[in-house]
Amino acid sequence: MQTKRLGNSDLDITPIGVGAWAMGGPGYRFSWGDQDDSDSIAAIHRALDLGINWIDTAAVYGLGHSEEVVAKALHGMADRPYVFTKCERVWDENREISKCLKRESIRREIEASLGRLKMDCVDLYQIHWAEPEDDLEEGWSTLVELKSEGKVRHIGVCNFNVSHLKRAQAIAPITSLQPPYSLLRRGIEEEILPYALGQGIGVIGYSPMASGLLTGTMTAERAAGLAENDWRSRSDDFKEPKLSKHLALSVKLAEVASRHGRTAGEAAIAWTLRHPAVTGSIVGIRRPDQIEGLIGAMTFRLSNEETAEVEAVL
């Protein structure tokens, strides 16, 4: 299976990885609604059977539940995939989420994550957001300590801009950056991706299908019927006037992909993987059937002409 080295690490990752955000289930502000844990576990197993070798989760996904689901899926595996998780988003007894990069908080977080994941060491530990910004150096220094202590193998960041990256690099090298990247979110192309490429920082983009908008299965009716506890029901991207434009792009992706026997989702993911700075793309799944229509992105790539054709819709 084709793999690519992630930044300065010894991790050779497949072009796509399993995103476990939605697997966290309901009960917090950024939920994707009710989920079936058995479906989530089956989805992970199917993805691994098809060759994917990494899973990305976070403590805040389901307020710990996503990590627990990942642990159940990997229980008893002799040859497990790489597991990536995150710190910085914390919650209280009322399930209210806050931001913290203080040393003692992060140390509590890693112990809690290792407990939920039933692991002694995480393959990649990431700062979820550079918030509060004033504590960035304290937070990154703490990840450096955790790596030296053997609690995490490699350390990275998510949602950092170039200024944030430079501040962290002044303390220790960054293995990876995890930003949002899709045809609908291209803001990182101008400055962040060139900087990461030049610095040897691996990039694993999230939401390549724009949270379902570019899968080819989203419709206006489905968007209107999203559950109240699904964060997308409150997003302007899933409402007019934006929705029609997004769905038109999805139609074009489906048209181009169909020439190769592929899906719109595979084309959307392939578009992100065309960029030389991008090491891998995080693909969110909740059921085993979903990965079947996306696994082709492991090898499928758009031609330059097809890329231009798709981008012309924008």
Tokens of 283: 């693909």
The confidence score (pLDDT) of residue 202 equals 98
Residue 137 has pLDDT above 90, yes or no: yes
pLDDT at 101: 98
In this prediction, residue 294 has a pLDDT band, given cuts at 50, 70 and 90, of: very high
For residue 188, the model assigns a pLDDT of 98
Mean pLDDT to the nearest integer, 128-138: 98
pLDDT at 288: 97
How does the average pLDDT of the chain come out, rounded?
97
In whole angstroms, how far apart are CA 100 and each of 81, 139, 288?
29, 8, 35
pLDDT of residue 201: 98
Q: How many residues does the chain have?
A: 314
Domain ranges, ordered by start, for the chain: 13-312
**For residue 280, is pLDDT > 80?**
yes
CB within 8 A of 261, min separation 6: which ones? none
- Residue 234 banded pLDDT, cuts 50, 70, 90: very high
**Structure confidence by residue, pLDDT tens digits, 57-110:** 999 999 999 999 999 999 999 899 999 999 999 999 999 999 999 999 999 999
Q: State the pLDDT at residue 204.
A: 98
35: three-class secondary structure by DSSP: coil
Segment 253-274 shows an average pLDDT of 98
Query: Distance (Å, rounded) from C-alpha 133 to C-alpha 152?
Result: 23
With a cut of 80, say whether residue 160 has pLDDT above it.
yes
Nearest to 204 by CA among 1, 9, 17: 17
CA–CA gap between residue 149 and residue 17 (Å, rounded): 27
Q: Which CATH number fits domain 13-312: 3.90.950.10, 3.90.180.10, 3.40.50.10140, 3.20.20.100?
A: 3.20.20.100
User: Is the pLDDT at 216 greater than 80, yes or no?
Assistant: yes
pTM, entire model: 0.97
Q: Determine whether 61 is an active site residue.
A: yes
Measured CA to CA in angstroms, residue 155 lies from 6, 36, 133, 163, 303 at distances of 11, 31, 18, 18, 34
Q: How confident is the model at residue 266 (pLDDT cuts 50, 70, 90)?
A: very high
Cis previous bond, 179, omega within 30: no
Choose, from 28, 61, 181, 206, the residue flagged as catalytic.
61
- pLDDT value for 228: 96
